[in-house]
Amino acid sequence: MSVLRPPRSTEKKGPPKLPPLTLSSPSLVAEHTPCTLHYSVLSPDLACELFYTMLDHSQSWKRNKWWLFDRVVESPHLTSFFARRTNGLNDDEDWQEAAQYWYNGRATEPPSVFPEPMERACRIVERIVNDEIKKRKRFKLEWGAPGGSAQPEWKANVAASNCYQGGKESVGWHSDQLTYLGPYPTIASLSLGTRRNFSLREVVPTQEAESRRARTFNVPLPHNSLTIMHASCQERFKHSIPPQTTIDLYRPAFPRKTEVTNPNPVPTSSDSFPSTPVAPTTPSATSIAIEPSNCRINITFRFYRPDFRSGTIPKCHCGVPTILRPDMKNRTDGHTDKYWWACYAGAQNDGKGCNFWKVMDMKKEGRGPCVGDAEEEQ
């Protein structure tokens, strides 16, 4: 048998694979990732009201489509985009028009204004985020106050919202596009409804690839929890919502309020939303019975920086605004200051784009103020 047995490989083996690790508490999340996890951030009644509001709105949301490897793919969840009435820095209501942006190589429709329960939730989220930011290390390219002297206040002026119906709907590994967020953004992700896992995995720098492998961290996100992806998360980690074979139905603690009518009627075709249990929407003089749901609503509050407003984004040879990417593979000392603008027209144009790319230069492009500006002036 020793004659038949193949010789042992003399090739050098890489670092061992690490099994996934479940981060089941806020302390574990903070220890292993650049994120913080917060439970029960909204009052129970507001959390239920916001869940019902977004579930009703989700009936008109769409699935993103884009070209990938010579074929059109569709996101396995519903998504929509909201913009606050003002930009969070002043009372200019022209912000609604400015907030219209490009995504996956195409211009988006004008965004919806924050619904009233989302606005109330946003103010609570902002307080939590700003308290956390004060405790953390700042990065030079983060958004800074004019003059770089005072601690800038994080304001959410847009929100991307997603609806995952059942355990099969998901989103693959990605980092959020920085085109309008700028370097080292802070993103606050509010989870409502069914508990789902949120997965994080570091992109190991090229110079460290032979010495270590990335571990996948799974974070269970229950109803009314807030995950803050702090500065450096988008530069270092990718994240996903993986499919799950089984999920627990979410049972709201409160019924819908009286006289609530769905602004977007549920489609009559059983093929449109086959697994969405939506509570009845007929107005009633009394409260409506509570029904369980298999949906997770996710609202990611973000700050669109004024120095990265849509009119300042370079266009590629296709005439389409580029996207901003960080250099994740060539980080040094745990961070990067290298970003580039790249063509993304191929996401829509039958998969055809150009080879345009250029390094982002904050000073030449007139962007800022940044946290590091004050240090350079000293």
What confidence score (pLDDT) does residue 262 get?
Answer: 52
Over residues 179-210, the pLDDT tens digits come to 999 999 999 999 999 999 999 999 999 999 89
Q: What is the mean pLDDT of residues 98-116?
A: 68
State the Cα–Cα distance between residues 119 and 97, nearest whole angstrom: 19
pLDDT band at residue 160 using 50, 70 and 90 as cut-offs: very high
Range among 151-160, 171-180, 292-301, 312-321 rated most confident? 292-301
> Cα(190)–Cα(300) distance, rounded to whole angstroms?
6
Q: Tokens representing 221?
A: 């996100």
In the chain, the percentage of residues whose pLDDT exceeds 90 is: 58
What rounded mean pLDDT belongs to the chain? 83
> Average pLDDT, stretch 333-356?
82
Q: How, if at all, do strands 237-241 and 196-202 pair?
A: antiparallel
Q: 269 pLDDT exceeds 50?
A: no
Architecture of domain 18-257+289-377: Sandwich (2.60)
Structure tokens at 268: 């009559």
| pLDDT above 60 (res 91) | yes
Residue-wise DSSP of 117-180: HHHHHHHHHHHHHHHHHTTS---TTSB--GGG-SPPPP---EEEEEEEETTT--EEEE----TT
Mean pLDDT of 52-75: 74
Residue 285 banded pLDDT, cuts 50, 70, 90: very low
Listed in sequence order, the DSSP H helices in 223-352 are 233-236
Tell me which residue has tokens 């003399």: 10
Helix (H, G, I), strand (E, B) or coil at 349: coil
Q: 62: which residues sit within 8 A by CB, 6+ positions away?
A: 78, 79, 80
Q: What is the pLDDT of residue 275?
A: 43
The type of residue at 263 is P
Q: How confident is the model at residue 310 (pLDDT cuts 50, 70, 90)?
A: confident
Predicted confidence at residue 56, as pLDDT, reads 95
Mean predicted confidence (pLDDT) in 300-309: 93
Q: What is the pLDDT of residues 205-262, one digit of tens each?
A: 999 989 999 999 999 999 999 999 999 999 999 999 999 999 999 999 999 876 544 5
Local confidence band at 32 (pLDDT 50, 70, 90 cut-offs): very high
Residue 212's pLDDT is 92
Contact (CB, 8 A) for 343 and 353: yes
The DSSP letter of residue 254 is S
pLDDT, position 298: 97
Q: Which residue(s) pair with 38 in the sheet?
A: 226
Query: Rounded distance, CA 140 to CA 367, Å?
Result: 13
